[in-house]
Amino acid sequence: MNIRLTRLFVLFFAVPLLSGSCGENTVDPPMEELPKMSISSITLFEGDENNIFRFQVSTSKTVTTEAKVNFATEEITAGKGTDFIEKSGTVTIPANERNAFIEIEIVADTLKEADEQFKVVLSNAVNATLQTAEGIGTIRNDDTYIDVPDDGYATPESYVGYDLSWGEEFNGSTINTSDWTHEIGAGGWGNQESQYYTDRPENSFLTDGNLIIEALEENYNGAPYTSARLITQNKKLFQYGRVDIRAILPEGQGIWPALWMLGTNISDIGWPACGEIDIMELVGHEPSTVHGTAHWGNQGQSSSDRKGSSYTLSGEKFSEKYHVFSLIWEPNSIKWLVDDNQYFSLTNSEVNGNYPFNAEFFFIFNIAVGGQWPGDPDQTTQFPQRMYVDYIRVFQKS
């Protein structure tokens, strides 16, 4: 072969072959990526009538061919049939669209309860890939009615030799601010407590003739729990008489309900010099036992002198039905009773130093959470916890 032919041969085979007779590129174009599919989450109030939650199913871009996906509801804290209507099926996003909707019926009621959740789960997507496969439905409670049991102990509306000086039956629709003030805030309240006291209806309200104080586990203004503390300071003040308070108490590790009194001169001389009368206290890990205590001490004293005792139910808890917590308060003498059974008494002769219990006092109702005495809640503690107060009545001698 001569040199000229050799050069032509090398040049011919060194030129890259192109597709087709005209030498065009034969590399296939990349496959079009499927759109990503997601479902939204929804939070709505429950309402007084059955409501519809519309979950939006959407794709990352318009679909050129209809996309389908299966769905089914699942319980979280909301119950099928009681809080939402169970549903399953297939939802389709038509060609040239990006959205479709799944409608789930919510069952309304009038009971106050915690917010509840369920979910809608997607599976088996066609012509799309699943990106967010679960949508959470949060049913916000907007009711205040609580079904309150009526069984338990009750005391009479009158006593021989006494007149009713003040009676609060809690029969209205809102808390009577002429008699009661909410104390607000956190800071431990002198006992390393963990709650934030609020004046919100979530923490204190009236229903079915009861004052309800409700402790919640929620982050509020930096505190991990909320509750309520109501006082009659500067509004309803008393010196002596018979006090009856009918109540159902909360329970659980770290829960600390109290029905108690402080001397009205606390602003002048401080605690414990003003005196403290604990009509009832309960630490929630001992739900069958209540305590009655008196505290006193000198002005400026950092801790109190005190005496008290306890009353324990046999085979039941104070959270199960109403009991009546009473004081018979007379000059130089106080007696503590549960369901008319006296379990403790105190006289001025048993108090060293100043006896502060012959002066005016005001009432305090509250649920504390955590603190030096009950300790903190743990994994066994259930929320919400409620104290139901049916009435407070103060009788004084005629």
Give pLDDT, residue 109.
84
Tokens 């990006």 sit at which residue?
98
Alpha carbons 259 and 389: distance in angstroms, whole number: 10
Give pLDDT, residue 179.
98
Give pLDDT, residue 3.
45
Q: Residue 169 corresponds to which amino acid?
A: E
Q: Which of these is catalytic: 105, 202, 276, 316?
A: 276
SS3 9: helix
Tokens 């130089």 sit at which residue?
332
Q: Is 281 considered catalytic here? A: yes
Tokens 């009991």 sit at which residue?
323
Contact call for residues 323 and 332 (beta carbons, < 8 A): no
Alpha carbons 353 and 306: distance in angstroms, whole number: 12
Given CATH 2.60.40.2030, say whether it is the number of domain 36-140: yes
Give pLDDT, residue 115.
84
Alpha carbons 365 and 262: distance in angstroms, whole number: 11
Q: What is the pTM of this model?
A: 0.71
Give pLDDT, residue 381.
96
E strand intervals along 193-304 = 195-197, 204-207, 210-220, 223-227, 229-231, 241-248, 255-263, 276-281, 289-296
Contact call for residues 226 and 203 (beta carbons, < 8 A): yes
Sequence spans of domains, the chain: 36-140, 162-397
Give pLDDT, residue 30.
55
Q: Which of these is catalytic: 46, 168, 251, 281?
A: 281
Give pLDDT, residue 291.
98
Give pLDDT, residue 141.
80
Give pLDDT, residue 146.
72
pLDDT along the chain (398 residues), means of 10: 45 43 50 88 89 95 95 96 96 96 92 86 96 94 73 96 97 96 95 96 94 96 97 98 98 98 97 98 98 96 95 97 98 98 98 95 98 96 96 97
Residue 3, C-beta contacts closer than 8 angstroms, at least 6 positions apart? none
CATH class of 162-397: mainly beta
Give pLDDT, residue 17.
43
Give pLDDT, residue 46.
87
Do 36-140 and 162-397 agree at the fold level?
no
Q: Is 105 considered catalytic here? A: no
